[in-house]
């Protein structure tokens, strides 16, 4: 492998300079929490759409998808393919509902519908998932850049963490969204460039690539049998359906984009654009992994090359000077953009869901100061988690991310769906559903997880034939279903709640009918 050329470093430095410029460009405008977290009305729909795209695309896409496509078929792409299918029918009322009933935090809706316990349970689940995902993104970026430049991985973590924290502190949501726009263009360009050069370098072109990939089980979405104990197509379809609702219906990073739009129509247009652009990007990078497999069937890799290192190895040995710098810059930019959005959302949840409960009468100036301290704290915690991943090692990162989402989704979609669609569901019933969900999740995780102990695997909790044997991605699905079923049935034993109809799908539907009269 050759080292990065001066031109490559120049391109990377220019991109980082643009990133910092955008952070400082809006520094003087961050004088309230509303501006810092929303900057409502300052963005056109297309910019918010690209921001949604960049929020959902990170180093996991850049490195995780090619690694998955290199080692297996396209089954993990199914989760992303379910997103537009599910959301085409739901985004129309989710967006205006949130814009009407909450101020900043997604989980304010959960409190208005089911009380404080539902709010704190859902917001804490979000925080856990975000930190796990952010640590993984930082881990991936550090490993990739280390392999490309031979720099110390911990130093890379510190530098990237510092840049994204400074950008967020100075520019707030305005910097985050315009950085996302910049990253959106780089994302498409880098993916298309890599895939085009790869396909051009395969002997026999696209027909040969398809033939070799098919012969070696690198195409398709199987296994196709009805089996919930393995990673099968049916598991990914079901999991992906709930993932779509969870991410676009209950995730703070996404809902903040809805709230930042000037009008409901602008927010819906931005959401549709983000949804429709995300799937092609995921597909491009999964296809890159497949093309890498084909290329290295014709040009064998050095012995011992790990799957996660194949894409960086290809970049450093096959791509021309300048292109490598552009791809690395896009990789770093993807990490900074997605993590900046995460930091902003974590600070929003921290202030809105927790600090304001402790200090309900504090000034907005105080809330803004605390918000910025929370950005710094969240950045430090994420770097520490990434450092821990580096220290202990990590394999199959994409699968790990999906598993974390499944386990720590914790029935959030179940709470959301009961809140939206059932006027009969009440606080007491949903609280019981959440408690049952937590007990089930603990049982399923402990009885299905094995750890190495003195040279052999030991199950954390062994109930013999009563162990949880289904795939862990189904764990998240079951947790949502448990909340829906137990929460609804338990609600029948308590009085019907008196509700603001704006909190329900039926209320939204009635408002639409009234508008047409």
**Are residues 379 and 421 located together in one domain of the fold?**
no
pLDDT of residue 401: 60
pLDDT of residue 233: 95
Decide which of 377, 409, 441 is a domain's last residue. 409
pLDDT of residue 187: 82
**Are residues 309 and 337 located together in one domain of the fold?**
yes
Q: In Å, how far are 46, 65, 169, 171, 180 from 261, measured between CA atoms?
A: 11, 31, 21, 18, 15
User: In 3-state terms, what secondary structure has residue 338?
Assistant: helix
Identify any residues that bridge with 453 across adjacent strands, giving them in sequence order: 456
Residues 352/370, Cβ–Cβ less than 8 Å: no
Residues 318/201, Cβ–Cβ less than 8 Å: yes
pLDDT of residue 498: 92
- Has residue 304 been placed in a domain? yes
Residues 315-321: contacts with CB under 8 Å, at least 24 apart = 315/148, 315/194, 316/1, 316/2, 316/3, 316/4, 316/147, 316/148, 317/1, 317/2, 318/197, 318/201, 319/194, 319/197, 321/5, 321/7, 321/8
Give the DSSP H/E element, type plus range, for residue 180.
helix 153-201
pLDDT tens for the chain, 517 residues long, are 557 888 999 998 998 888 888 878 887 788 899 899 988 777 889 999 988 888 777 667 777 889 889 999 999 899 889 988 888 888 999 999 999 999 999 999 999 999 999 999 999 989 988 888 888 888 888 887 887 777 888 998 998 889 889 888 888 888 889 888 888 888 888 889 999 999 999 999 889 999 999 999 998 998 999 999 999 999 999 999 998 998 889 999 999 999 999 999 999 999 999 888 888 889 999 999 999 999 999 999 988 788 878 888 898 889 898 998 998 888 888 888 888 889 999 999 999 999 999 999 999 999 999 999 999 999 999 998 888 878 776 545 555 665 665 566 679 999 999 999 999 999 999 999 999 998 998 898 889 877 766 667 778 788 999 999 999 889 889 999 999 999 999 999 999 999 999 999 999 888 888 887 7
**Are residues 255 and 269 located together in one domain of the fold?**
yes
Nearest alpha-carbon partner for 473 in 195, 140, 229, 291: 229
pLDDT of residue 394: 54
Residue 239 domain boundaries: 6-409
**Are residues 78 and 196 located together in one domain of the fold?**
yes
**Whole-number Å distance between alpha carbons of 145 and 333:** 12
**Are residues 337 and 474 located together in one domain of the fold?**
no
Decide which of 356, 387, 409 is a domain's last residue. 409
**Whole-number Å distance between alpha carbons of 275 and 57:** 11
**Are residues 78 and 156 located together in one domain of the fold?**
yes
Decide which of 375, 409, 443 is a domain's last residue. 409
- Has residue 177 been placed in a domain? yes
Q: Say whether the peptide bond before residue 237 is cis (omega within 30 degrees of 0).
A: no
Nearest alpha-carbon partner for 503 in 34, 88, 93: 93
pLDDT of residue 292: 96
Q: Using alpha carbons only, what angle is made at residue 51 by residues 165 and 477, rounded to the nearest 5 degrees?
A: 95
pLDDT of residue 287: 93
pLDDT of residue 390: 82
**Are residues 326 and 415 located together in one domain of the fold?**
no
pLDDT of residue 407: 66
**Are residues 244 and 344 located together in one domain of the fold?**
yes
**Helices 252-260 & 153-201 angle (0-180, nearest 10):** 80
234 CB-side CA count, 13 A? 9
**Are residues 205 and 171 located together in one domain of the fold?**
yes
pLDDT of residue 494: 97
**Are residues 459 and 403 located together in one domain of the fold?**
no
Q: Report pTM.
A: 0.89
Q: With 0-12 CB in 10 A as exposed, 13-18 as middle and 19+ as buried, what is 391?
A: exposed
**Are residues 393 and 421 located together in one domain of the fold?**
no
Q: How many domains does the chain have?
A: 2
């Amino acid at each position: 492998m050759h080292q990065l050329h001066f031109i490559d470093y120049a391109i990377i430095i220019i991109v980082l300079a643009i990133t910092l410029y955008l952070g400082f460009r809006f520094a003087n405008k961050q004088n309230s929490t509303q501006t810092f977290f929303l900057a409502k009305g300052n963005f056109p729909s297309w910019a918010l759409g690209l921001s949604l795209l960049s929020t959902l695309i990170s180093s996991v896409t850049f490195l995780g998808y090619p690694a998955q496509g290199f080692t297996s078929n396209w089954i993990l792409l199914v989760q992303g393919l379910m997103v537009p299918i599910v959301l085409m029918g739901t985004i129309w009322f989710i967006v205006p509902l949130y814009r009407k009933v909450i101020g900043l935090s997604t989980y304010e809706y959960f409190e208005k519908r089911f009380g404080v316990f539902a709010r704190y349970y859902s917001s804490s689940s979000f925080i856990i998932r975000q930190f796990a995902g952010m640590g993984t993104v930082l881990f991936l970026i550090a490993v990739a850049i280390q392999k490309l430049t031979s720099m110390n991985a911990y130093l890379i973590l510190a530098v990237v963490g510092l840049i994204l924290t400074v950008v967020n502190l100075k520019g707030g949501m305005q910097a985050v969204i315009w950085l996302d726009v910049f990253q959106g263009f780089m994302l498409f360009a880098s993916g298309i460039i890599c895939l085009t050069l790869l396909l051009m370098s395969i002997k026999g072109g696209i027909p040969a690539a398809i033939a070799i990939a098919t012969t070696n089980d690198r195409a398709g979405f199987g296994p196709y049998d009805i089996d919930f104990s393995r990673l099968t197509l049916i598991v990914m379809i079901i999991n992906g359906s709930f993932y779509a609702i969870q991410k676009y219906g209950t995730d703070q990073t996404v809902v903040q984009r809805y709230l930042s739009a000037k009008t409901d129509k602008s927010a819906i247009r931005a959401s549709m654009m983000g949804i429709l652009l995300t799937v092609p990007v995921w597909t491009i990078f999964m296809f890159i992994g497949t093309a890498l497999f084909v290329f290295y069937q014709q040009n064998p890799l050095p012995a011992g090359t790990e799957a996660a290192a194949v894409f960086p190895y290809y970049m450093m040995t096959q791509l021309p000077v300048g292109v490598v710098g552009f791809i690395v810059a896009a990789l770093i930019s993807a990490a900074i953009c997605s993590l900046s959005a995460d930091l902003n959302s974590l600070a929003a949840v921290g202030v809105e869901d927790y600090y304001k409960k402790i200090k309900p009468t504090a000034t907005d100036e105080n809330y803004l100061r605390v918000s910025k301290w929370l950005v710094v704290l969240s950045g430090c915690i994420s770097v520490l988690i990434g450092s821990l991943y580096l220290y202990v090692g990590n394999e199959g990162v994409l699968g790990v991310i999906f598993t974390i989402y499944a386990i720590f989704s914790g029935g959030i979609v179940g709470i959301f769906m009961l809140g939206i669609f059932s006027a009969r569901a009440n606080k007491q019933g949903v609280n019981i559903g959440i408690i049952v969900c937590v007990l089930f999740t603990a049982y399923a995780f402990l009885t299905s997880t094995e750890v190495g102990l003195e040279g052999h695997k030991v199950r954390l909790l062994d109930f013999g034939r009563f162990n949880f044997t289904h795939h862990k991605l189904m764990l998240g699905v079951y947790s949502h279903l448990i909340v829906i079923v137990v929460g609804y049935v338990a609600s029948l034993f308590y009085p019907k709640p008196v509700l603001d109809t704006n909190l329900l799908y039926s209320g939204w539907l009635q408002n639409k009918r009234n508008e047409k009269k």
